[in-house]
Amino acid sequence: MDSQPYFPGLKPADPGPLSRFLPPLEEGVISAWLSHQNLTGNWLLDPFGFSPRLVLEAARSGYRVLVTVNNPITRFLLETFANPPPESEFTAALADLGSVKKGDERLEHHLQTLYFTNCEKCGQQIRAQAFLWRKGEAVPYARVYECGHCGDAGERLAAEDDIERARKIAATDGLHRSRSFERVVSLKDENRFHAEEAIQHYLPRPLYVLTTVINRLESLSLSPERRRALTALILLACDAGNTLWAHPAERPRPKQLSTPNQFREHNVWMMMEHGSSLFTEMGGRVACETWPRRLPEDGGICIYEGRLRDLAHEVKKEIPIAAVFGSLPRPNQAFWTLSALWAGWLWGREAVEPYKAALRRRRYDWAWNATALNSMFNHLNELLADGVPVFGLLPEPEPSFLTSAFSAAEVTGFALESVALRTEHDPVQAIWKSSQKPEMSKANPGLVQDALHNYLSLRGEPAGYLHIHAAGLITLAEAHALKPSELEFDEVLRRTHALFESALKEDDRFVHYSTGEGVDTGLWGLKLAAAADESLSDRVEIAVVTYLQKNPNSIFIEIESDLNPRFPGLFTPSKGLVYAVLNSYAEKDGARWTLRAEDVASARRDEMNNVLNLLEVIGKRLGYETRMEDKSILWEENGKPVHSFYVLASALVGRALENADEQTVIVIPGGRAALAAYKQQRDPALASRMKKFRVIKYRLLRALNEVQILTRESFEEQVASDPVEQSRGQMMMF
C-alpha cells in the first residue's frame, strides 16, 4: 500500500467551547486534503458529525457539506459556529438575564452572592472563582480567588463562612434536583433513574444556578438571535457546573461520567461572563440549512438531523456525493450522557427524545464501537457510488480504536488505501474507497510477522506498539483478513491483538525495549541491522537541513509539508523530532527558522577541516603519528592505532558507529550534542551502541589546544568526562 503523506495542520489558537469533549483536531488538514483531490461535483458528506469545526472548514473550502448529526448539542454548536451571534448580542443577553428580578434583587446579584467569600488577607467580601471539593464530602475544602482590593490570589482553605454557605444551599437541593430531571424525562419514564444518576454529577450550588437561569431563559422575551446567544452561554454553564473538573487537571479530556477524587466547582456565572468570545472567534459566517432545504453553489452546510440509515435512500437519488470525510466516533459516555441531559435542560423533553438512549449509562467498549461503526459504514456504502474517497480522522488513536475502525470499514466494502500516523497524540489519517464487499479470508501469522519485520527494517529504528499495530492492520486489510465472517467484533479485537502479540513474542528477530510486560508498552526493534542504511531520525535530520539550506526563513508547517511526502504513512516524523533537529541547526526569528550561520554547509565544512587540523596538531603535540583515513584521523604509536577520531558536522552518529572499534572517538559540534542525546532517548539500540564509544565536542578540542602543558593523561581524562548531553553554551571546567 502506498500511503499518503500526513497532512499537517495547526492547533487552533482558541480551543473553543466544550473542546474537552470534541475531537482534538488540527486546522487546515481537511482543506489541504480537499485541495489534493480531483473531485467531480462539490457535495461532501460527513456521516458522523462529531466535529463541528471540521465541517465548517470543509464548507469554507467551497464545498456543500451534508452532515448527519444526531447529538442535539453538537448540532447546536455547529449551527452557532456557522452563524455566530455578534459579541454585542452575548453581552446584551447576559445583561437581560442579570437584570431580571429575583425577589427584591437583581438575578445577577442574587447568584453572585452564592459565591461570596472573604479575602484571607484583607478580609473584604469578594467573589470566588471556584471552590475545591473532595469526592463524597458535603462541603468544599478550599476556594480559589483573586482579590481586587489587595491582590491576594490563589488557592486558600475554605473558611467557616464558605462552609456555612455551601450547607445552606444544600438544604434546598431536593426541589431543584427533581425539577432538573423532570425537564429531561417524565416521572413515568424508564430512563428517569438514568437522568437522576447523571444529575448526581452536579453539586447543589451549580444546579441551583443552572435551574434558575434555565427557567428565566424560557420566560424572557428575546429576539431569536439573542436567545441563541443566551442559550450558548448557558450551555457553557451546564458544562462548567458539573463535577468532571479534576483538580489538579490530570485528565483534561473526560470520557467517563465519574467524579474525580478532587475537583473544581467553577463559579458558573463567571464562566458565562467569559464565554462569549469562545463563540464569536470562529471565523466568518457559513450558509447553514436543514435537509432537505438547498444550499448555494459556492458552499455551505446542510444538516440532516436523523440517522444515516434514513438518509441513504434520499441521498442516492438526489445528491452525487464526491467525497466523504469525518472524525470517526470513539466512545465518550460522559459527553453523550451529558448531551442528553443538557438538551433536556435547554430545549425540553422533546429534544431529548431522539437521543434518549444516550442517558442509559452503558459501557461503551471497543466492540460496541466497532458494531456501531459497522452499521454506519454499511449505510454509507449504500448511498455512495463505487470509488468515492473517504478521508477519516481518528483522534486520540489507540490500537483498539484502529482495529475497530479498520475492520468495520473493511467488512462493509471500504478498501483501505492509506494510513498516515504521526504519534499517539495526533489523529490518524486514513483513506478508504467505497467498493464492493470483499470475500473475507483468514489471517496467516507468518504474513503478519514478515510485515512487522519489514516495517521496522525500513524504519531503521525501534517503534512504539501503535505503529506496529497499524502496520499489522494494514497487512490484514490488504489480505482482506481483518474480520473473518464467523467472528463477532469482540472476538476480532481479541484475536487481532493476540495475533500481533504472538507475532512479536514468538519471533526472535524482534527485541522488546520495555520495563513493562505488556506487548503494548515500550518500544519494539530488530535484533539484526535494518534494511534502511540510516535510521528514520537520521534521514529526517538530513531532510530538514537540506530543506533549510534551500529555503531559509521557513515556518514550521512549510517544513512539515516538505518533509511528510518524503516520509509518508507510518514513517511520518513526529513534531518532537523535527523540533530537535531545528533547535540543533537553526534559529527562530518570530515563527521563521533559518540555519545558524555556523551551520550553513560551507561554514560547516571549513569548521570540520579546522577540527581535523586541530586533531593533527594535538596528536603531534602528544607525540603520536597522525594520518587521515576517510573521514577519520588516526593517532598511532609504533604503527598501532591508539585513537581513531571520526569527525561529524551532523548528529548522524549511526554513520560513525558503522565501522567503529575500541579506538573510535566520535567528534561532533557542541550544537549537535542535544540532538544526539535526543536520538539516544528515542532509540535504546542506538543508546546501548553509543555507550561503548567516546563522544566529544569540537570545543573541547579547541580548549585542549589552548592548554599550555598537555599530557596524554590529562587528554584522556578530558575526553572521558565530556558528556554528550551537555547543553550548548555551558562553560568548560578548566
Q: Closest CB to Zn ion among 267 and 718?
A: 267
- Chain residues 427-486 in contact with Zn ion, contact rule CB under 5 A: none
Q: Does 529 engage in binding with Zn ion (CB under 5 A)?
A: no
Spatial separation of the C-alpha atoms in residues 520 and 497, rounded to whole Å:
10
Give the CA distances from residue 484 to residues 42, 563, 658, in Å, rounded to whole numbers and listed in that order. Answer: 36, 38, 45
Q: Closest CB to Zn ion among 150 and 157?
A: 150
The least CB distance from residue 126 to Zn ion, in Å, is 7
CA 483-443-440 angle, 5° bins: 45
Q: List, as one string, the DSSP characters of 170-185.
A: HHTHHHHHHHHHHTTS
Q: Closest CB to Zn ion among 126 and 358?
A: 126
Question: x/- string (CB under 5 A) for Zn ion, residues 138-177?
Answer: ---------x-xx-x-------------------------
The least CB distance from residue 122 to Zn ion, in Å, is 3
Q: Closest CB to Zn ion among 69 and 119?
A: 119
Q: Closest CB to Zn ion among 126 and 543?
A: 126
Count of residues touching Zn ion (by CB under 5 A): 7
723: Cβ contacts below 8 Å, ≥ 6 apart: none
The least CB distance from residue 113 to Zn ion, in Å, is 18
How far is the first Cα of the chain from the last one, in angstroms, to the nearest whole number? 57
Q: Residue 389 in contact with residue 433, Cβ under 8 Å?
A: yes
Question: x/- string (CB under 5 A) for Zn ion, residues 97-136?
Answer: ----------------------x-xx--------------
Q: Which helix (H) or strand (E) holds 524?
A: strand 523-526
Q: Which DSSP category does 437 fall into? A: P
The least CB distance from residue 162 to Zn ion, in Å, is 15
Q: Residue 646 in contact with residue 653, Cβ under 8 Å?
A: no
Among 38, 85, 84, 34, which residue's Cα sits nearest to residue 60?
A: 34
The least CB distance from residue 115 to Zn ion, in Å, is 15
Give the CA distances from residue 644 to residues 236, 615, 673, in Å, rounded to whole numbers and listed in that order. Answer: 66, 10, 20
Q: Closest CB to Zn ion among 118 and 378?
A: 118
Give backbone dihedrals phi and psi of 429, rounded to 5 degrees, phi first: -110, 115
The least CB distance from residue 154 to Zn ion, in Å, is 12
Locate cell 531532510: which residue?
Answer: 543
Q: Residue 60 in contact with residue 285, Cβ under 8 Å?
A: no
Locate cell 482579590: which residue?
Answer: 147
The least CB distance from residue 156 to Zn ion, in Å, is 10
Q: Closest CB to Zn ion among 122 and 531?
A: 122
Spatial separation of the C-alpha atoms in residues 11 and 15, rounded to whole Å:
8
The least CB distance from residue 130 to Zn ion, in Å, is 17
Q: Closest CB to Zn ion among 148 and 320?
A: 148
88: Cβ contacts below 8 Å, ≥ 6 apart: none
Helix-, strand-, coil-residue percentages of the chain, each rounded to 5:
45, 15, 35
Q: Closest CB to Zn ion among 95 and 150?
A: 150
The least CB distance from residue 161 to Zn ion, in Å, is 15
Locate cell 523535527: which residue?
Answer: 578
Cβ atoms < 10 Å from Cβ of 338: 24
Q: Closest CB to Zn ion among 145 and 715?
A: 145
Orientation of helix 333-347 relative to helix 192-199, angle to 10°: 100
Q: Closest CB to Zn ion among 147 and 675?
A: 147
The least CB distance from residue 153 to Zn ion, in Å, is 9
The least CB distance from residue 119 to Zn ion, in Å, is 3
Q: Closest CB to Zn ion among 157 and 591?
A: 157
The least CB distance from residue 148 to Zn ion, in Å, is 8
Give residue 110's identity as a one-letter amino acid code.
Answer: H
Q: Residue 691 in contact with residue 665, Cβ under 8 Å?
A: no
The contact set with Zn ion (CB under 5 A) reads 119, 121-122, 147, 149-150, 152
